[in-house]
Amino acid sequence: MLLALSGVCLLLHCLANAFTAYGYFRDELYYIACSEHPALGYVDQPPLSIWILSVSRFLIGDSLFALRLPAALAAAATVLLSGMTARELGGGLLAQGLAAIAVIVSPIYLSMCTFYSMNSIDILIWTCVAYTLTRLIRTERPRYWIALGILLGLGLLNKISVLWLGAGLATGTLFSPMRKWYRTPWPWVAAGVALLFFAPYVIWNFQHDFADLEFIRNASSRKYGGVSAWDFLGGQVLLNNPPSLPLWIAGLWFYFAGRQNVFRPLGFLYAIPLLILVVNGHSKPEYLSPAYAMLFAGGSVFAEGLAVTTLRRRLFMSYAPLLIVSGCLLAPLAMPLLPVDTYIRYAALIGLRPGNAEGKQLSDLPQFYADMFGWKEKADAVARVYNTLSPEEKAKCAIYSDNYGRCAAIDFFGARNGLPKSIGGHNNYWLWGPRGCTGDIVIILGGNAEDHKRSFESVVVVDSVSAPHCMPYENNLKITICRKLREPLTSVWPRIKLFI
């Protein structure tokens, strides 16, 4: 049954990716660019997701379907593991099926696994940790500590927010009968294994002036400064499918107050990250999303245990269809299933206005969908301008833009038009440097001509590029040919760094 439900999840994502009317997501293009620069770390992320993408691109290419297949597989594996966790918690077939269905129709899981990023891997790793912890509690076999250490280490190599998960595990072990393990070497061995896996990224940050900490500080204070703790808490209901609220609340009750309080450590895997994110004050609601699969598992077991009378059993049996119906209604808001015009009408029909956590101006689409439009048009427009140059000018021409989405689009779509790799100051593009460019001639995508005149002796706006449905700040961009940088590019470069 669980394999069948996992297959349904995989099929849903594969069909959505195969027949989508949307394009590459901004961050997917950036991930592709990062995969062409193998490293032990990156400004805005640890390296594991980039390493996985490098292998995936080598094996199956980087078409939109191929690029998103690993995320679809991670979604299916999460469904399987959520049901298996329910089984380890004592749940029967009904509890296992309900937990798996809740994961399948969760809007945030649909969204996070509909494109390639670190997030689908993060969700899978958190669910793996929860399952492994249940196995440790049930069997008390020390080898599961080693497995937890490996999983936490891989998680940290993927996303450093796994530190919150580690804090939850340490606290849950301390405030439960599992505290006896602290008198053995196994928890400490697990911590050592996790740190050993994480060490390359720590070393990379030492070598790069703690670039990731600078990125996190800037993102928290500027990019997400408008997100409040109330926004974070309220988002937990909508992102996880509103009818699932009783289910995951029941999961918390099951772990902390249920008869089987031996599983209390799993409650701390949720409670401690929740506390950390609320105290932070500027956390995006989706930051806690990896923790919900294990709550769905616990809640399903609790609900199955209550279904002892005929009436309660009927209510239990009707709950899964309610989740499915609600999930189907919300699915077009979470993954690109509908054509753009149909989506806009659908969103208007249910009264949903586009929004985003970064406070940016929006047009007719939310930022998640808008960031899937306009990238090829930008690269093609830059290529038209580039091909007006003489061979001598092309040989020394640089192509510059001030955010990683535009730079990555030029790199990915521009390669077939003979464009050189772009340069920029945003995140890893700043680290990759000017690529030997001198500043004698630069094509700039975006920005203001008056600003460019402060840096170059000659500035000529030669074209502009627009695209339907993209973010307003990504539309109607000017393409400028600038000549003779007023000072050496090596002197300018430190000033254009933007880690955010």
> Taking CA 70 as the corner, what is the angle to CA 67 and CA 76, rounded to the nearest 5 degrees?
140
CA distance 49 to 31: 8
pLDDT, tens digit, for every residue of 450-489? 999 999 999 999 999 999 999 999 999 999 999 999 999 9
pLDDT, tens digit, for every residue of 160-217? 999 999 999 999 999 999 999 999 999 999 999 999 999 999 999 999 999 999 999 9
C-alpha dist (Å) from residue 233 to 227, 229, 278, 289, 354: 11, 6, 8, 12, 19
pLDDT, tens digit, for every residue of 103-137? 999 999 999 999 999 999 999 999 999 999 999 99
Structure tokens at 318: 């009707």
pLDDT given for residue 351 in this prediction: 82
pLDDT at 421 over 90: yes
pLDDT given for residue 350 in this prediction: 87
Q: What is the Cα 206 distance to its own chain's centre?
A: 25
Shortest CA distance to 345 belongs to which of 359, 361, 332, 356? 332
Structure tokens at 413: 């779509």
At 51, the amino acid letter reads: W
C-alpha dist (Å) from residue 271 to 81, 114, 178, 267: 21, 27, 17, 6
C-alpha dist (Å) from residue 138 to 178, 262, 263: 11, 9, 9
pLDDT at 239 over 70: yes
C-alpha dist (Å) from residue 234 to 85, 245, 285, 288: 27, 11, 8, 12
Please answer whether residues 386 and 421 qualify as being in contact, where contact means their C-beta atoms are separated by less than 8 angstroms. no
> Beta strand pairing status for 441-445 and 397-401?
parallel
pLDDT given for residue 285 in this prediction: 93
pLDDT given for residue 355 in this prediction: 61
pLDDT given for residue 224 in this prediction: 73
CA distance 373 to 398: 24
DSSP string, 56-86: HHHHH--SHHHHHHHHHHHHHHHHHHHHHHH
Please answer whether residues 31 and 79 qualify as being in contact, where contact means their C-beta atoms are separated by less than 8 angstroms. no
pLDDT at 47 over 70: yes
Shortest CA distance to 188 belongs to which of 156, 142, 155? 142
> Taking CA 279 as the corner, what is the angle to CA 276 and CA 281, rounded to the nearest 5 degrees?
115
- Eight-class DSSP state of 290: G
pLDDT, tens digit, for every residue of 253-290? 999 997 667 999 999 999 999 999 999 888 999 999 99
pLDDT band at 312; cut points 50, 70, 90: confident
pLDDT given for residue 308 in this prediction: 81
Query: What is the percent of the chain with per-residue pLDDT over 90, rounded to a whole number?
Result: 90
**What global pTM score does this model have?**
0.95
DSSP string, 182-235: GGSSHHHHHHHHHHHHHHHHHHHHHHTTTHHHHHHHHIIIIISTT--HHHHHHH
For the range 51-58, what are the long-range contacts, defined as Cβ-Cβ under 8 Å and sequence gap of 24 or more? 52/121, 53/116, 57/32
Structure tokens at 393: 């000018």
pLDDT band at 314; cut points 50, 70, 90: confident
CA distance 92 to 306: 13
pLDDT given for residue 315 in this prediction: 85
Structure tokens at 247: 């289910």
pLDDT given for residue 260 in this prediction: 63
